[in-house]
Amino acid sequence: MNASVFDLGHAGLADRIAARLGAARGMLDRRTFPDGEHYLRIGGDRAGHHAVVVADLALPDRHLTATLLLAATLRDLGAARITLVAPYLPYMRQDARFQPGEGVTSRYFARWIDAHFDALVTIEPHLHRYATLAELYSIPARALSAAPLLAAWIRAEAPDGFLIGPDAESRRWTEAVAELAGLPWTVLEKVRHGDRAVDVAVPALPALAGRRPVLVDDVISTGHTMADAARKLVAQGHRPPFAAAIHGLFVEDAERLLRDAGVARVVTCDTVPHASNGCQVDGLLAEALLALDRG
């Protein structure tokens, strides 16, 4: 593909995508001024080229400004097309005005991306109240499924697994992964009392006896959801659970929390760089970029 692949916070993934596409790696000289403002300089002639920007937008405010500035610079230098690859798409949680006066930040965030990019490729965005990204984004936006990757990992590492979604929102991922893995599954109920306070109701699960519980969710953020479910499963005498998530943000002391709750293994996709990355998404992303290129 005749494109240059730039990266903001996800160099390994950008390297692998560029290799799969047979594309060049974009030359980006980037640093911050002493006051924290970004300095960007792009090498080579970008006029008329397709630029692919692979950005780690988990903990979004860390790379978001630089991502928008990079797109603006590429446009200014004459790039013909700029595609954003955001393996984890942030700001999807606030998909409604739950309280008077709140901002529907998923929409405002989408407007920024629409204004700077010509296309968006992402993996398993948190689509809950929106059915598709087209309800939010006016540029072509592709949401790819990582279910086959997690299913393959679970089939190999937990062939006797019993998949458990910790809350109603996790049903779509749990069901998809379980069906592909050919394993039984169920979904629990969760009440969220605050950002770091959840209560997952774990009923007696006779069908789980002797099998490996595998908790499945789209995101591990603080880890409280997975940890609460794991603790209760262990307390009921089940085997130490595995925790499988598409995106692992692991904010604050999430890893310790999961360990202390008795989680035996954690696996995530490399949408966000982390030691738990056991599923690689470069193949999925490269395929989607090639399909977009073909129109």
Q: Which residues bind ligand R5P (CB under 6 A)?
A: 167, 169-170, 198, 217-225
**What is the three-class DSSP state of 120?**
strand
Please say which residue, 14 or 243, places its beta carbon nearer to ligand R5P.
Answer: 243
Distance, CA of 47 to CA of 81 (rounded, Å): 10
Please say which residue, 7 or 228, places its beta carbon nearer to ligand R5P.
Answer: 228
Q: Report phi then psi at 261, rounded to 5.
A: -80, -5
Closest CB 60 distance from ligand R5P, rounded Å: 14
Please say which residue, 81 or 171, places its beta carbon nearer to ligand R5P.
Answer: 171
* Beta strand pairing call for 197-201 and 50-55: unpaired
Closest CB 222 distance from ligand R5P, rounded Å: 3
Please say which residue, 6 or 173, places its beta carbon nearer to ligand R5P.
Answer: 173
For 108-112, the CB contacts below 8 A with 24+ separation are: 109/60, 110/136, 110/137, 112/68
Q: What is the DSSP-derived secondary structure letter of residue 238? A: P
Check 190, 212, 231, 238 and give the catalytic one. Answer: 190
Closest CB 247 distance from ligand R5P, rounded Å: 9
Closest CB 77 distance from ligand R5P, rounded Å: 38
Which one, of 31, 104, 35, 34, lies nearest residue 69 by Cα?
Answer: 31
C-alpha angle with apex 114: 110 to 119, nearest 5 degrees? 110
Q: Does residue 232 have an active-site annotation?
A: no
Give catalytic residue positions.
190
